[in-house]
């Protein structure tokens, strides 16, 4: 049980390392704790205790004479590198953190802990605090970068002339898709305040093939595309909300068009077995009305929206799979 609680204690140390940019400072070469303390304007003894604890669980490595160096796990705390989890750590240990202490509210009262703590839902909160929203967006991009290669390697986008990414955010996934499918064009669809930044981030070589569109996926999405994608969208919402979103997609899709739901999928036969999706589900419980789902649960949503489930595609990570469905 101490080891379980230790996960929370270490998370606090990870947050400190992220806030102080320790991984960035060690990216080039090892440094003494005294130099790290100087560069971060920190108390040397206190910082050493943090770094000692992190090194004890394999995050950074302590050498002789209180010298610390980077390792593979610590590298994930660097700023603006592919696969970084730094911003996701800061969001989870920042504004999300209090919700994990109020999970009983969900179990007993059906309340979303985040809403209980802050008096508003997550999306309203981020509209009120745009700097935290920007950090959360970077966190999602960091996680996305870890998985995009698996998506591209395991799904052939070339047959589709027009592709729409629903809730596509900054457009990173669409950029990767279009680079893998040189004859395709794409539309990144999201709310107007998101798309303002998305437009600026379209690479020069894709400007003639990557467009943007604004709106709410609860009301309307661009119609007539050959393929629609939604990555980490469905898990944010409860079943009724998901069916509403999927029905909007159904209305926009021509017959034969496909929809890819890219989300974590809890294995149906995983009783008593560890799986990342089971833990991500607790993040959903703490912060939103949504949840992670099993394949059977996805199929139920898909069929209630009038779509047909085609197949489940493994992309090599427990945090995401591709659920392919089609309008027939």
Percent of the residues in the chain that have a pLDDT greater than 70, as a whole number: 100
190 vs 248: CA distance, rounded Å: 14
Which residue is catalytic, options 96, 175, 193, 235?
235
Give residue 167's pLDDT band: very low, low, confident or very high (50, 70, 90).
very high
CA 9 to chain centre: 23
Q: pLDDT at position 50, please? A: 98
Q: pLDDT at position 142, please? A: 82
pTM of the model: 0.90
pLDDT digits (tens, 9 = 90+) for 49-70: 999 999 999 999 999 999 999 9
At the topology level, CATH places domain 2-79 in: Arc Repressor Mutant, subunit A (1.10.10)
Pick from 136, 175, 131, 139: nearest CA to 157: 175
Same CATH topology for 2-79 and 97-326: the answer is no
CA 238 to chain centre: 18
- Provide the 10 A C-beta neighbour count for residue 201: 13
| 193 is an active site residue | no
**Could you say which architecture CATH assigns to the domain 97-326?**
3-Layer(aba) Sandwich (3.40)
Q: pLDDT at position 270, please? A: 85
Q: pLDDT at position 39, please? A: 98
- Residue 150 clears pLDDT 80, i.e. is over it: yes
Pick from 320, 293, 295, 325: nearest CA to 310: 325
What does residue 163 show for φ and ψ, rounded to 5 degrees? -125, 135
Neighbour-count burial for 285-297, b at 16+ CB within 10 Å, e otherwise: bbbbbbbbbeeeb
100 vs 92: CA distance, rounded Å: 9
pLDDT digits (tens, 9 = 90+) for 84-95: 999 999 999 999
- Provide the 10 A C-beta neighbour count for residue 84: 23
24 vs 91: CA distance, rounded Å: 19
pLDDT digits (tens, 9 = 90+) for 243-262: 999 999 999 999 999 999 99
Which residue spans within the chain are E strands per DSSP?
31-32, 61-62, 67-69, 162-166, 185-190, 210-214, 227-231, 258-263, 265-266, 293-294, 308-317, 320-326
Question: Could you tell me the residue ranges of all domains in the chain?
Answer: 2-79, 97-326
Q: pLDDT at position 269, please? A: 86
């Amino acid at each position: 049980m101490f080891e379980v609680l230790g996960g929370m204690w270490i998370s606090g140390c990870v947050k400190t390392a992220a806030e102080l940019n320790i991984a960035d400072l060690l990216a080039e070469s090892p440094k003494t704790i005294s130099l790290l303390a100087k560069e971060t304007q920190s108390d040397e003894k206190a910082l050493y205790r943090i770094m000692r604890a992190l090194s004890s669980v394999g995050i950074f490595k302590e050498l002789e004479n209180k010298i610390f160096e980077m390792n593979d796990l610590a590298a994930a705390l660097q700023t603006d590198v592919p696969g970084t989890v730094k911003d996701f750590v800061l969001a989870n240990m920042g504004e999300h953190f209090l919700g994990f202490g109020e999970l009983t509210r969900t179990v007993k009262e059906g309340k979303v802990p985040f809403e209980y703590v802050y008096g508003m839902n997550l999306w309203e909160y981020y509209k009120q605090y745009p700097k935290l929203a920007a950090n959360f967006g970077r966190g999602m991009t960091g996680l996305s970068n870890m998985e995009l290669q698996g998506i591209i390697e395991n799904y052939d986008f070339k047959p589709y002339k027009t592709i729409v990414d629903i809730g596509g955010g900054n457009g990173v996934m669409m950029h990767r898709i279009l680079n893998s499918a040189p004859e395709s064009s794409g539309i990144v669809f999201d709310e107007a305040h998101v798309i303002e930044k998305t437009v600026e981030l379209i690479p020069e070589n894709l400007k003639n093939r990557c467009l943007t569109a604004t709106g709410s996926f609860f009301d309307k999405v661009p119609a007539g595309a050959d393929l629609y994608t939604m990555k980490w969208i469905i898990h944010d919402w409860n079943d009724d909300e998901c069916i509403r979103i999927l029905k909007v997609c159904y209305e926009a899709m021509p017959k034969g068009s496909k929809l890819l739901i890219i989300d974590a999928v809890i294995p149906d036969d995983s009783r008593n077995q560890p799986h990342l999706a089971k833990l991500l589900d607790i993040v959903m419980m703490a912060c939103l009305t949504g949840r992670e789902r099993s394949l059977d649960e996805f199929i139920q949503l898909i069929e209630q929206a009038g779509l047909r489930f085609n197949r489940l595609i493994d992309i090599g990570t427990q945090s995401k799979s591709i659920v392919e469905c089609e309008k027939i």
